[in-house]
Amino acid sequence: MCGISALLLADSSQAAVSELLESMGLLQHRGQDAAGIVTCGHKGRLFQCKGNGMVRDVFTPQRLMALTGNMGVAHVRYPTAGTPADSEAQPFYVNSPYGIVMGHNGNLTNDTELRHFLDYDAHRHINTDSDSELLLNIFANNLQKTGKFRINEQDIFSAIQGLFSECKGAYAATAMLAGFGIIGFRDPHGIRPLVFGRRKSMKGNGYDYMFASESVVLDALDFTDIEDVQPGEVIIVSKYAVTRRRLVVEENIAPCIFEYVYFARPDSTIDGIPVYNARLDMGVKLANKVRQVMGDKMDIDVVIPVPDTSRAAALQLSHELGLPYREGFNKNRYIGRTFIMPGQEMRRKNVRRKLNAMPTEFKDLNVLLVDDSIVRGTTSQEIIQMARDVGAKKVYFASAAPAIRFPNVYGIDMPSMKELVAAGSSDGDVAATIGADYVFFQDLEDLVDSCRKFNPRIKAFDTSVFDGKYVTGDVSKEYLEKLEARRSDNAKQKHVADGEVIGLHNYQ
């Protein structure tokens, strides 16, 4: 999962970099592996700063000062395809044709075919393992076909129309053409989110325009008229006009439901669904599940959330069950999200560094811990043991999401089934593995209803991690086996030891 943004300021004398930097801070929860900004200044000159690390680590004041220009693209990343190498930090850039920069959130499912096409037919060199570089080069190759000295909006629409037919999988992307403007588009199924907004320029002449993965970015930067980029839609913002067109109208619209469970900030609204409200309703549904299972044997003394994502669900669950809600874990906010940390051992070690259990909230009590989901089970197991270590008598565990039994191929880094604690296991097996007295999983129908009730126009969601049904229809057993080998923690550790490839790097 990644976070993307793009900004064009109406006043050409203003610098876009400060607000692009702020957007990355607001999207830091979506990726902590790498960060980057590319801006466009006078005469179409591009300026770049990117590298591995958190936003605060990559961007020094000296580097920020060098990023001039009134438009740019920004990206925060954790690797779903490719490796964690510096050269794969985004945005990516190709100089031909026209100078194109792109940031991508998602994952392409036909990357092998695209790589072959770009090599053997388009004769474009691909230098990394990143599927984002493939997406950029497909776009560039389609633009190259125009053969024009200067392109217009229709040429861009035609190029992305071709991209929609060539690229399968999930992708929300922001792009910038040197000296021309910024572009935002979203895959025909709408799996990954992208929003668009505008605000009055500070000098009152025209509007500033921005794309971002989540609405919270545009809210914080005082943008208005915020709306979702529609599935299959392309929006082009030049210095002179905003042009938009929905190029593909797909019957199977399916936004990723895991955005609402875990990834998105609670103060965001995605596809018309307020994330916080959806999580509250997940708590209502989960409370019904707990009540149904325990009946008159209910012996829970207190409800405690696993910070931070599960707080809304846990609060509403405690209210529905008439049980006390307590904050039993103190969180060190300077440790990253363990789910998106590379490597099982690093995730395990960082759980106890991130959370500290407060004995007064656990001692001699039967506690119900509430988390957004159980993925590998590493975090859950450590947290349950922490609760027992400080005196909890019984530890029940409730997940606001159903059991995750299948790999995700659309941009979430949990594709290896061997690393999923619930894959091929019963709920009782999961409870035994993580050390819980009982595990309550949300029913899939209830999870879908918790989201769809706020926007009934969305008929379906991508729920492939729960039911193994992949909306793009091109995910074969062979593809999943390939991902199993390519994306396991062992494979990633091997990549870390590999030599660096040529990339565009920062000035020291």
Catalytic residue positions, numbered: 2
Beta carbons within 8 Å of 56's beta carbon, 6+ residues apart: 25
How does strand 394-399 pair with strand 366-371? parallel
Could you give the angle at the alpha carbon of 152 between the alpha carbons of 148 and 158, nearest 5°? 85
Could you give the angle at the alpha carbon of 494 between the alpha carbons of 37 and 80, nearest 5°? 45
* β-pair partners for 367: 302, 395
How far apart CA 17 and CA 29 sit, in angstroms, is 20
Provide φ and ψ at 429, rounded to 5°: -65, -40
- Name which of 143, 109, 111, 106 is nearest 128 in CA terms: 111
Query: Which H or E run includes 345?
Result: helix 344-354
Cβ-based neighbour number of residue 11 at 10 Å:
14
- Name which of 396, 408, 481, 407 is nearest 439 in CA terms: 396
The answer to whether 282 touches 400, Cβ cutoff 8 Å, is yes
* β-pair partners for 48: 38
* First and final C-alpha spacing in the chain: 29
Locate 226 and state its tokens: 């915020």
Locate 454 and state its tokens: 């706020």
3-state secondary structure at position 101 = strand
How far apart CA 485 and CA 474 sit, in angstroms, is 19
How far apart CA 163 and CA 158 sit, in angstroms, is 9
The answer to whether 143 touches 151, Cβ cutoff 8 Å, is yes
How far apart CA 377 and CA 347 sit, in angstroms, is 11
> From residue 106, how far is each of 196, 236, 468 by CA, in Å?
18, 20, 18
Provide φ and ψ at 410, rounded to 5°: -115, 25
3-state secondary structure at position 428 = helix
Locate 38 and state its tokens: 């590319």
DSSP for 225-259, written as a single string: EEEEPPTTEEEEEESS-EEEEE----S----BTHI
Beta carbons within 8 Å of 411's beta carbon, 6+ residues apart: 1, 2, 80, 105, 106, 107, 170, 191, 192, 256
Helices (H), 82-175: 111-120, 131-144, 153-166
One-letter amino acid for residue 300 of the chain: I
